[in-house]
Amino acid sequence: MRPTGTASRSPAVLRWVLRQDLDTPAQMLDDVGAAVACDVLYGIAQTDRRERSSIFSATAGVLALYNTDAARAAAARPNFDSDEFVASSDTVFITAPAHRQALCAPLVVGLLEQIRHAAYRRAATRPGGLPVFFCLDELANIAPIHDLSALVSEAGGQGLHVLACLRPTAGARERLLAARDRLRKRPGTTDSRRIAANAATTLIDAHQLAEILGVPHTWVLKKARAGQLPHHKLGHYVRFDLDEIIAWLDDTKIQPGGPRRRR
């Protein structure tokens, strides 16, 4: 999503998503000869109804911030150009209250991606200039960059320096145990019902697990898809059992001066 281009059309995009309207955007894309984008929409139209609904739901979540009138008004007047920014000495501060960070995260990541690639373009055409500096605090919550490892490894040589602050993994096991105990000891649940419901009440989603581990939720889902993190598929939903995650965390611990423990 380019701030200087499509941002002003975001309310219209959100309207199409909420109405699950593929015809209007497909016609607009066809008019400008965007064949690949049209093919993507056609593929979505041909998917199973439940899967298509899941796609629309996920997309609506990404654009949820535009549900507010203030955000739509701001999007109608874009005033940021990433190429101009990386060539300047300006500083942009991005903040969000804790209860709004998940809502803002997709837009923050989109903005950072635009600045990232603008910095790469500038470094390729005008090498030797001052680098752009990303100082990313609360990274897992407000800026869950899906390819963070690639960004860190490649950015330094392309005009972009990155400082990323992640929640320390020390204490992750204690946080997992505390989360499990909270789920098992819900108010109004008797001891006998707690014992019977233990297995069902220790399932959490990727966002909850990411917050406990101090990593982006995209990292959690990536590891799950790769079969490197224990998880459960409930239809289109991915859930994580806290007991299994605790065991996985113990198994992946690297002892000082020793090899990684394996099953």
Q: Return the CA Rg of the chain.
A: 22
Give the residue carrying structure tokens 């014992």: 195
pLDDT of residue 170: 55
Please report, in angstroms and rounded to a whole number, the separation of the first and last CA atoms in the chain.
44
Q: What is the pLDDT along the chain (263 residues), one digit of tens a residue?
A: 333 444 456 678 888 888 889 989 988 888 888 889 889 898 998 888 888 888 888 788 778 778 777 777 777 777 889 999 999 999 999 888 877 787 788 888 889 999 999 999 999 998 878 899 999 887 777 888 878 878 888 998 899 999 887 665 556 777 777 877 777 765 554 444 444 444 456 788 888 888 788 777 888 888 888 888 999 988 878 899 988 888 888 887 765 555 544 44
Query: Would you give the DSSP letter of residue 260?
Result: B
What is d(CA 254, CA 30) in angstroms, rounded to the nearest whole number?
Answer: 54
Tokens read off for 64: 């949820």
pLDDT of residue 258: 52
pLDDT of residue 2: 38
CB–CB of 176/129 below 8 Å?
no
Indicate the pTM of the whole model: 0.59
Strands 237-241 and 232-234: antiparallel
User: For the chain, which residues make up each domain, given as ranges?
Assistant: 1-77, 80-166, 172-251
Give the residue carrying structure tokens 């059309």: 9
Helices marked H in 135-254: 139-142, 148-155, 172-184, 191-197, 206-213, 217-225, 242-251
**Which is nearest to 154 in space by CA: 125, 124, 111?**
124
DSSP count for the chain of H helices, then E strands: 14, 5
